[in-house]
Amino acid sequence: MEKRLFLAIFLSLIVVFGFQTLFGSKNTASKSTQVVEMNAVRVEGSVPVIPDAPAFPVVEKSKPTFIEKTNSLENALFLVTLTNKGGNIDSIHLKKYNYLSPVKGVLNFDAFDNVEFQIENMSDGAARLFYKGKDWQVIKTFVLNKDYTVTAEIIIKNISSVAKSLSGNSTDFVVDTSRLDTHNVQSDYSLYEYTVKTDKKIIRKDNARNFTDKWNKEDFAKVEWTAFRDKYFVTLVQPQQATSNYTIKTASDKELFIGSKLSGVIIEPGMESVYKYKIYAGPQRLDLLEKADKAFTKVMVFSNWGWLDAISKGMYWLFGTIHKFIPVWGLCIIIISLLVYGLTYPLTLKSLVSMKKMQVLQPKMKELQEKFKGNPERLNKEVVELYRVHQVNPLSGCLPMLLQMPIFVGLYQVLWRSVYFRGESFLWMKDLSLPDHTVKLPFTIPFLGEYLNILPIMMVAIMSIQQNLNMKTMVTTTPEQASQQKIMAILLPIFIGFIFYNMASGLNLYFVLFYILSTITQWKISQSTQAVN
């Protein structure tokens, strides 16, 4: 995904600073990991499992003989659906965002995934699920908290007359991407990502949408938490007891099991083992993740490149800080645009002045090429001397632009992926996280869709003006070069407009303002005689 972002930003900056300066003329001479402290499992009357102890009892996966029923559990933030089949969380709906999480089967134990639990509401936002069989009694308790977390406790009691081994797999959750595919555009699929945080490393896998057996994976490591996230939201499960490994297993082309194996114990008759979990299900916001558990912030990254992720998070922090004083996200984008352009103005000015100087030197470059066309070594020496006398560095137009790219890509990531802008309107833009969709057309434009989006069209118009300004000040030495410049002046703005056409309106708003400011600066440079002296 970073490659796509760099391409879009790189081509955009080419428009701003000039194609000829960047690539030259044909006529010139030549991501420390914080470890979460895990609470030990409480086991009453139990001893460690011996190496060859029998595993957790295996239950045949026969069809249930009971009718599956669900029960709703809710508070101000959540609407959670519990199922009597296996006694787990079947769905999580975030009320404020009208968002259905793709996870289901949360905290399902292999041995009990096909038995009937009785569901009992304890109080507002809390429920208990109960199962009693021949050998085991299981009580699951789920409590919805006020910070996008769910507290879960599972008590497994040995009700037989002999000691029994308790170990085996627990499903942290099942990812069902069909729940997401119904409301996400194709460009968002690359942001579907599962994450496993172990005591040694963080494992991330993006494009987690369609699954095959190649996705199956198992590794021995202490699991600190597992998670699945899309563009804006994340569901994360943290066991509070020791685990010995994690398992990723494909259930279907749209379903992926993510689980961990519990450390084995032997439970004496009448004794029980208690397992506790913390679940975070909410928006990807660093403040909310940190409030739930500081270790959870590791799940939220804007880029797998650590330095770029750091820049993006800096921009993310800046947006949040400004919003504390100005509660309109559209105005925050405008302020950020002005602020970033002001901070990068010296680099922008240096690039544009260098471009102007290089343009002015083109006739002299042509004279040298004609005079020394048979002597390349002498030509190079004369060109170097020409640059020295006029104090021109041929790279000075490119380097400032390249130095700005990480800043622009960091902003790009935040504006594109931050939940801050989801559902926020500004002027005619109904949702800053979506294209502005100003007018619905009676027909569909291939590759662009059925809506007329004003912001990318404005972007193309401004870039065309900028290219025309560049053409007026450009000194071309051959008809061939002049023709190339005209073609670029037409095609490049159209190409950039095509790339940005279905981007989020908040992102396009920033770049429209950026192009307006850079065009004004370029116009001033083109009118200045001091700039090239």
Q: Please report the DSSP string for 114-141 in residue order.
A: TSBPEEEEEETTEEEEEEE-SSEEEEEE
When pLDDT is averaged across residues 402-413 and rounded to a whole number, the result is 81
- Where among 222, 241, 270 does a domain terminate? 270
- Residue 142: the pLDDT is 95
Assign 472 a pLDDT band (cuts: 50, 70, 90): low
The pLDDT value recorded for residue 428 is 92
CB 284 within 8 A of CB 300: yes
Closest alpha carbon to 275 in 128, 145, 116, 151: 151
Identify the pLDDT of residue 67: 86
CA 425, chain centre distance (Å): 21
Residue 51: what pLDDT? Answer: 36
* Domain shared by 367 and 483, yes or no: yes
Among 170-174, 322-326, 402-406, the range scoring the smallest mean pLDDT is: 402-406
> 134 vs 392, which has greater pLDDT?
134
- Per cent of the chain over pLDDT 90 is 35
pLDDT of residue 182: 65
Q: Is the same domain home to 215 and 77?
A: yes
Last residue of a domain, one of 270, 296, 318: 270
Band (pLDDT 50/70/90 cuts) for residue 384 is confident
Q: Is the pLDDT of residue 34 over 50?
A: no
DSSP 160: S
Does some domain include residue 509?
A: yes
Does some domain include residue 525?
yes
- Say how many residues make up the chain: 533
Instruction: Tell me: do 345 and 485 sit in the same domain.
Output: yes
pLDDT of residue 352: 75
Q: Tell me: pLDDT of 35 over 60.
A: no
Instruction: Kindly tell me if the per-residue pLDDT of 228 is higher than 90.
Output: yes
Residue 312: closest CA among 176, 246, 408: 408
Those residues whose C-beta lies under 8 Å from the C-beta of residue 10, and which sit 6 or more positions away, are 405
pLDDT the model gives residue 466 = 81
The mean per-residue pLDDT over the stretch 37-53 comes to 38
Residue 153 has pLDDT above 90, yes or no: yes
* Cα–Cα separations (whole angstroms), residue 158 to 21, 268, 390: 77, 7, 88
> Quick check: is 409 in a domain?
yes
How many structural domains is the chain composed of? 2
pLDDT digits (tens, 9 = 90+) for 56-72: 343 444 566 778 888 88
Partnered with residue 217 across adjacent β-strands are 248
CA distances from 426 to 163, 421, 431, 506, 510 (A): 65, 10, 8, 9, 13
pLDDT for 226: 94
pLDDT for the residue numbered 531: 44
Residue 289 lies in a domain: no
Let me know if residue 320 belongs to a domain: yes
378 band by pLDDT with thresholds 50, 70 and 90:
confident
Q: How confident is the model at residue 403 (pLDDT cuts 50, 70, 90)?
A: low
* pLDDT mean over 132-157: 93
Task: Decide if 57 is inside a domain.
Answer: no
The pLDDT of residue 6: 54
Burial class (CB in 10 A: 0-12, 13-18, 19+), 52: exposed
Q: How far apart are the first and last CA of the chain?
A: 43
Segment 356-366 mean pLDDT: 76
Let me know whether 21 and 86 are in one domain: no
Beta bridge partners of 70: 83
Based on the fold, state whether residues 224 and 77 are members of the same structural domain.
yes
Of the listed ranges 213-217, 278-282, 339-343, 348-352, the one predicted with least confidence: 348-352
> Phi-psi bin for 18: left (phi > 0), alpha (psi -120 to 50), beta?
left
60 against 507, higher pLDDT: 507
Tell me what pLDDT residue 492 has. 83
User: Which CATH number covers residue 210?
Assistant: 2.70.98.90
Averaged pLDDT, 205-214: 90
Domain match, 320 and 388 both: yes
Phi, psi angle pair for 160, to nearest 5°: -85, 180
What is the mean predicted confidence (pLDDT) over 440-456?
A: 86
The parent domain of residue 238 ranges over: 70-270
Q: What per-residue confidence (pLDDT) applies to 349?
A: 78
pTM, full prediction: 0.79
Q: Is residue 244 domain-shared with residue 381, that is, in the same domain? A: no
Contacts of 461 (CB under 8 A, 6+ apart): none
Same domain, 251 and 192: yes
Per-residue confidence at 42, pLDDT binned at 50, 70, 90?
very low
Range scoring the smallest mean pLDDT among 47-56, 305-314, 338-347, 363-372? 47-56
- How confident is residue 290, by pLDDT bands cut at 50, 70 and 90? very high
What six digits make up the tokens of 187? 């460009």
Does 294 reside within a domain?
no
Residues 72-99: pLDDT tens digits? 888 999 999 999 999 999 999 999 999 9
Please indicate, yes or no, whether residues 362 and 453 belong to a single structural domain of this protein. Answer: yes
- Regarding whether 24 and 75 lie in a shared domain, the answer is no
Q: What is the mean pLDDT of the chain?
A: 80
Count of CA atoms in the C-beta half-sphere (13 A) of 87: 28
For the ranges 110-114, 318-322, 387-391, 404-408, the maximum mean pLDDT occurs at: 318-322
Query: For the chain, how big is the Rg over CA atoms in Å?
Result: 30
pLDDT at residue 45 in the model: 42
Q: Residue 330 domain-assigned?
A: yes
pLDDT score of 260: 82
Asked if residue 239 and residue 134 are part of one domain, the reply reads yes
Does the pLDDT of residue 521 top 80, yes or no?
yes
What is the model's pLDDT at position 400?
60
Q: What's the whole-number mean pLDDT along residues 370-397?
A: 77
**One domain, residues 335 and 244:** no
CA dihedral 302, 305, 307, 308 (to 10 degrees): -40
Mean pLDDT of 98-107: 92
The pLDDT assigned to 479 comes to: 65
| pLDDT for 25 beyond 60 | no
Q: Which comes out higher in pLDDT, residue 207 or 261?
A: 207
Question: Tokens 């996280």, residue?
Answer: 433
* pLDDT beyond 90 at 283: yes
Residue after which a domain boundary falls, among 246, 270, 294:
270
What are the CB-based long-range contacts (under 8 Å, 24+) for 373-379?
Answer: 379/29
